[in-house]
C-alpha cells in the first residue's frame, strides 16, 4: 500500500505497537491488521471488509481505518472492563463478493500473530464469515452458536448504545426516560435496527434513514410506527432531540457540527467524528456527544464472553453497566471542563495504567 500523500508514513501511529500489511498471492487477499496495545491482554477487535470506493486513496484509507479503530478498541475494551487491548483488521475487497480462500488467508494471517490479536466480525462481515475464518484460526470470535460462539454481536451493541443514550438523556434533561423523545436513527442494520426496537419499547418517536430497502422493510414490519425518511437531509430537517449514527464512520463533519439542532448525539457507528476537532465544536455549541467507543462496547463484551464460557446473560449484565460508565464520563467531563471524548480517553488511560476493572456503581436517576 502506498505512503500517505504528505510523505509521512507514521502520521496515523499514536502509540501503536504493530501494523501488518499483507498480500496473499494464492487468494488475492489484501489485508491490514493494526495492534494498538496489548498492555491489558491480547488485542481484541473486529475485522471489516470494504473497497473504500468513496475515498480518494482507497488503500491508504484502509490502513488509516485500521490504525484509528484499533486505538479506539484499546479505549473501548478498557472502559468495558475487559482484560484485552485494542486491535483491528481490514480486508481490502468487495464484501458482496468474498471467497472462502480470502477468508481462510485472513485466518492464517491472524494465526501468524500467535494470539496477540483476537478477531471478530465488523462491517461487511457476517457470522458465517467468522465461522469460515475460524476454520484456519483458533483466535476467532463472533462465531455461530453451532461453532462455539454467541452469534451476531449487534445484539449487545444495541443494548449498550441504548443504555448510553439513556444516561446522556439524564445528563441533558434530568431524566433517562426516552418516551416521546424525537430520535433520528441513521442506519437500520444489525445495530440500528435493534436499537430502534429498544427505543420504540420506551415510547420514543423514531425517524430512520437507510439506503437498504431490505433493512427498512424489516424495521417497519416489526415497528410500523417508525417514520422512514427519504434522505439524511430530510431527517436533519426534523426538530430532532437525539441524532443516532449507526452506519459507517465520519458522519459528524465540521459542517454538521456547526448546524446540528439536536442537543444529543449517541449512536453505534465507529469513528463518528470526521476529525478530533469536531468534538470541540460540538461542545462549544452545547451539543452533547457520547463517544462511540464508550457506548458501543456491547459487541466486544459479547465476543469476549465467547472466550469465557459463552454466557450471554452475563455479557448482557456487563453491557448494562454502560449506563453508569457514561454517567461517570459525563460527570468527569463537566468537572474537568473537557469534552466527553477527552474525559472518556482519560478514564480509559487511568484504567490501563492501574489495571483497575471494578464496575461503576449504577446510579438511580
Q: Are residues 300 and 193 in the same domain?
A: yes
End residue of a domain, out of 129, 148, 167: 148
Mean pLDDT estimate for the chain:
93
**How would you list the strands of the sheet with 85-92, edge to edge?**
18-24, 29-37, 85-92, 43-50, 117-121
pLDDT band at 199 (very low <50, low <70, confident <90, very high): very high
**How many folded domains does the chain comprise?**
2
Considering the entire predicted model, what is its pTM?
Answer: 0.89
Q: Could you tell me if residue 42 is inside a domain?
A: yes
Q: Are residues 106 and 240 in the same domain?
A: no
Which helix (H) or strand (E) covers residue 266, if one does? none
Q: Are residues 332 and 280 in the same domain?
A: yes
End residue of a domain, out of 127, 148, 169: 148
Does residue 206 surpass a pLDDT of 90?
yes
Q: Are residues 341 and 223 in the same domain?
A: yes
Does residue 75 surpass a pLDDT of 70?
yes
Share of the chain above pLDDT 70, in %: 94
Q: Are residues 139 and 163 in the same domain?
A: no
Q: Could you tell me if residue 365 is inside a domain?
A: no
Q: Could you tell me if residue 225 is inside a domain?
A: yes
Nine-digit cell string for 187: 442506519
Nine-digit cell string for 243: 441524532
Strand partners, 120: 46
Q: Could you tell me if residue 218 is inside a domain?
A: yes
Q: Could you tell me if residue 5 is inside a domain?
A: no
Share of the chain above pLDDT 90, in %: 85
268-271: list long-range contacts, CB under 8 Å, 24+ apart.
268/157, 268/158, 268/160, 268/161, 268/187, 268/191, 268/192, 268/195, 268/244, 268/292, 268/295, 268/296, 269/186, 269/187, 269/245, 269/296, 270/69, 270/72, 270/296, 271/65, 271/68, 271/69, 271/72
Check if 88 is active-site: yes
User: What CATH number is associated with residue 66?
Assistant: 3.40.50.10860
How many other CB atoms sit within 10 Å of the CB of residue 227?
14
Per-residue pLDDT tens over the stretch 234-254:
999 999 999 999 987 889 999
Cα separation, 130 vs 115, in Å, equals 16
Q: Are residues 34 and 119 in the same domain?
A: yes
pLDDT at 13: 78
End residue of a domain, out of 114, 148, 182: 148
Q: Are residues 124 and 233 in the same domain?
A: no
pLDDT at 235: 97
Q: Are residues 231 and 329 in the same domain?
A: yes
Q: Could you tell me if residue 6 is inside a domain?
A: no
Q: Could you tell me if residue 13 is inside a domain?
A: no
Q: Are residues 252 and 338 in the same domain?
A: yes
pLDDT at 248: 76
List phi, psi (to 5°) of 36: -85, -50
Does residue 174 surpass a pLDDT of 50?
yes
Q: Are residues 140 and 167 in the same domain?
A: no
User: What CATH number is associated with residue 256?
Assistant: 3.40.50.720
Q: Could you tell me if residue 265 is inside a domain?
A: yes
Q: Are residues 296 and 348 in the same domain?
A: yes
pLDDT band at 355 (very low <50, low <70, confident <90, very high): confident
pLDDT band at 363 (very low <50, low <70, confident <90, very high): very low
Domain that holds residue 40: 18-73+85-148
Does residue 3 surpass a pLDDT of 80?
no
Catalytic residue, candidates 88, 98, 190, 351: 88
Average the pLDDT over 161-185 and give the result. Answer: 98
Average the pLDDT over 184-209 and give the result. Answer: 97
pLDDT band at 362 (very low <50, low <70, confident <90, very high): very low
Q: Are residues 134 and 178 in the same domain?
A: no
Across 56-65, 92-101, 159-168, 234-243, least confident range? 56-65
User: Could you tell me which residues come within 8 angstroms of residue 5 by beta carbon, excluding any fewer than 6 positions away?
Assistant: 57, 60
Amino acid at each position: 500500500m502506498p505512503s500517505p500523500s504528505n510523505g509521512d508514513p507514521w502520521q496515523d501511529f499514536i502509540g501503536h505497537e504493530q501494523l501488518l500489511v499483507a498480500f496473499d498471492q494464492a487468494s488475492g487477499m489484501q489485508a491490514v491488521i493494526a495492534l494498538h496495545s496489548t498492555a491489558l491482554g491480547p488485542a481484541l477487535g473486529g475485522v471489516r471488509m470494504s473497497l473504500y470506493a468513496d475515498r480518494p486513496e482507497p488503500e491508504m484509507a484502509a490502513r488509516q481505518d485500521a490504525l484509528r479503530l484499533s486505538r479506539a478498541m484499546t479505549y473501548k475494551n478498557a472502559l468495558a472492563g475487559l482484560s484485552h487491548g485494542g486491535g483491528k483488521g481490514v480486508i481490502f475487497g468487495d464484501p458482496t463478493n468474498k471467497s472462502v480462500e480470502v477468508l481462510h488467508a485472513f485466518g492464517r494471517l491472524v494465526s501468524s500473530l500467535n494470539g496477540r490479536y483476537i478477531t471478530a466480525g465488523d462491517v461487511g462481515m457476517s457470522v458465517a464469515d467468522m465461522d469460515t475464518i475460524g476454520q484456519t484460526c483458533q483466535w476467532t470470535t463472533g462465531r455461530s452458536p453451532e461453532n462455539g460462539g454467541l452469534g451476531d454481536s449487534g445484539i449487545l451493541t444495541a443494548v449498550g448504545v441504548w443504555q448510553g443514550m439513556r444516561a446522556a438523556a439524564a445528563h441533558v434533561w434530568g431524566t433517562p426516560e426516552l418516551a416521546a423523545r424525537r430520535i433520528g436513527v441513521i442506519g437500520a442494520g444489525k445495530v440500528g435496527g435493534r436499537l430502534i426496537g429498544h427505543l420504540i419499547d420506551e415510547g420514543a418517536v423514531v425517524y430512520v434513514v437507510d439506503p437498504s430497502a431490505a433493512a427498512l422493510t424489516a424495521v417497519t414490519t416489526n415497528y410500523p410506527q417508525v417514520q422512514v425518511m427519504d434522505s439524511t437531509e430530510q431527517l436533519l430537517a426534523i426538530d430532532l432531540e437525539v441524532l443516532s449514527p449507526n452506519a459507517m464512520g465520519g458522519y459528524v463533519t465540521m459542517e454538521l457540527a456547526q448546524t446540528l439542532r439536536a442537543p444529543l448525539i449517541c449512536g453505534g457507528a465507529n469513528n463518528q467524528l470526521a476529525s478530533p476537532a469536531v468534538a470541540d465544536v460540538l461542545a462549544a455549541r452545547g451539543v452533547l456527544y457520547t463517544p462511540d467507543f464508550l457506548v458501543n462496547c456491547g459487541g466486544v463484551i459479547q465476543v469476549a464472553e465467547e472466550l469465557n464460557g459463552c454466557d450471554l446473560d452475563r455479557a448482557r449484565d456487563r453491557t448494562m453497566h454502560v449506563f453508569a460508565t457514561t454517567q461517570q464520563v459525563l460527570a468527569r467531563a463537566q468537572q474537568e471542563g473537557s469534552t466527553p471524548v477527552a474525559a472518556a480517553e482519560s478514564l480509559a488511560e487511568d484504567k490501563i495504567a492501574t489495571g483497575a476493572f471494578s464496575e461503576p456503581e449504577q446510579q438511580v436517576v
